[in-house]
Structure 1
């Protein structure tokens, strides 16, 4: 429990520092909220001053940051400059699509990446060669090109899947998100399969595995307890990193398939200089990365208790 509490404290500190950087970066970027609000029109100094007062832009930077941070802690992310909608409501309506897409892609990464790497590392032969070749192809295909290719073949030519939208209901949602999830997960599957295969091969060739087999321990037991379990430490890291990156990478796929997720919301907000929305989405992305890293740390302690013991002795 102390191990988890320490990691939660580190996550809270990371989010605090990140929130300041995100808030400051938006005001350091070219342009300003005032220029967007007046939309290039020439206004009198009095009107400009009233706009600054209305949106709290006349206050010192640290005061504005403090008001924004306290609002975020209470669930208030401010108001969108473009649509005048509550940012929290915008996020709440977009997050389910992104969560569904990333969860689907993460499942594909685990099923195809980890399983393919484990099987290839344990069995070798033609299957190993096929996994190495397939992972090399997956490395070379950018996410956006994969989205266009999948859409062209399986949606337009074959008509097996819908082209646009997120669908309604569980079956409709799964059908609509299949092609976007495959496009999003494809590069990560290649990375995870290659690293998993390498980790399994290294563990398979270790001395303690040879000794266990020489003592008559069944291959199935050795593979499960000594090879796969020990290989899961680096695999857990790479899976966690790629799953965390899915949320950021989802923006490209959501834009290609016109999905109403937070990735497409971020792209629109950046183009419109909608500061409040950009800050909120960026903070959500940082929080997702932090939570995934926390889960990885906990899984490390479950797989290898020495990780937890090492942290306590430090």
Structure 2
């Protein structure tokens, strides 16, 4: 199968999955207790005429299929509807908050990749006391939930030492980076431990392979063996964890943003869920699904390039 044909098939599969996900996202909220009309009334009693006017304004009385198709048509055009809580377009809310969340996720992802790969490589190559220290450290990291890490980092580095702000997102790029440093570390801690252990296992497996033994017997320098034959061959295994890493970042962002009062999309999702703001929750949920699937698509396309031993379509068919 050619690369272009494989890419086209994966994009088509992604579009079909997104369509199914949109139906689930739209329909799931209507199965939850409560309704948007009750929130809009804020607990006040209303006459049947007033209630009917609210339902007509927000199309709450339309059949489910009509509401879904109308919503889907608007989403395709970039219109996610109007927030019931903030009384403004959801697209505007997302435009104001999404850059902060993406910067936070980007910073956390950089920390995860750099530190996780470095620790995994050191643990596999050096062994001994270094390996033991990395295993102990990563066990602590994996066992620490993001919200616990957030509280600990706030208490030590924000309250006691005063090195970083304890809340907010900052104003301007440099100030934002400073405000988001502790949240990014809290978000990345668990994933650093996971990626380090995956990298270590993949490299140890590669070290025991026959082609590494042959390379060493031919007098190839150890650094070159590690770089070209061990680390590179382990990247395929490491890359397959990309989807899990991103999905974890997206989910844990809600907890971390709430803990640090960042005001990004994660905190918006938490507030919108508690207030039954259906259009906002639906938009954010669909964006999260789209981001997760986009990462999986990129991983599928990169795998054959990183590891030529993997045939096009192998991962997709096995999944």
TM score, norm. by length of structure 1: 0.96
Change over 3 Å in CA distance of 1:187–1:152 after alignment to 2: same
Which residue number corresponds to residue 218 of structure 1?
A: 221
Is the Cα–Cα contact under 8 Å of residues 244 and 292 in structure 1 kept in the other structure? no
2:211 alignment counterpart = 208
Q: Deviations over 1:201-242 (max 9, x none)?
A: 111112221122112222222212211111111111224421
Q: Hey, what does 1:83 align to over in structure 2?
A: 86
RMSD: 1.6
Query: Does residue 4 of structure 2 align to residue 31 of structure 1?
Result: no
Alignment partner, residue 130 of structure 2: 127
* Post-superposition CA distance 1:34-68 (Å, at most 9, x none): 22222222222222222111111221100100000
Quick check: 1:113–1:190 contact (8 Å CA) kept in 2?
A: yes
Matches within 5 A, 1:54-203: 54-203=57-206
Written as runs of structure 1 = structure 2, the 5 A alignment for 1:297-312 is 297-311=300-314
Consecutive unaligned residues of structure 1, counting only runs of 5 or more, are: none
Counterpart contact for 2:6–2:313, Cα < 8 Å? no
DSSP-derived class of the 1:307 partner: coil
2:259 is the alignment partner of 1:256: yes
CA contact (8 A) 2:242 2:296 kept: no
SS of equivalent residue, structure 1 residue 56 = coil
Q: Among residues 10, 14, 20, which one is paired with 2:13 in the alignment? A: 10
1:230 aligned onto 2:233: yes
Deviation at 1:306, TM superposition (A): 4.2
Question: Matches of 2:95 and 2:174 in 1, distance apart?
Answer: 22
- Secondary structure of the residue that 1:305 maps to in structure 2? coil
Task: Report if aligned partners of 2:82, 2:88 keep a CA contact under 8 Å in 1.
Answer: yes
- Residue 180 of structure 1 contacts residue 254 of structure 1 at CA under 8 Å; is this kept in 2? yes
Equivalence for 1:276: 279
**Rounded Cα–Cα distance in structure 2 between residues aligned with 1:240 and 1:111:** 17
Give yes or no for contact 2:168–2:260 (8 Å, CA) kept in 1.
yes
Q: For 1:307 and 1:198, how far apart are their aligned partners in 2?
A: 19
Decide whether the 8 Å contact of 2:14 with 2:293 is kept in 1: yes
Contact 2:243–2:292 under 8 Å retained in 1 = no
Q: Distance in 1 between matches of 2:28 and 2:141?
A: 34
Taking the aligned partners of 1:252 and 1:62, their CA distance within structure 2 comes to 33
- 1:216 is paired with a residue of what secondary structure? coil
1:87-131 alpha-carbon deviations (Å, 9 max, x no partner): 000011110110000000000001100111012111212211111
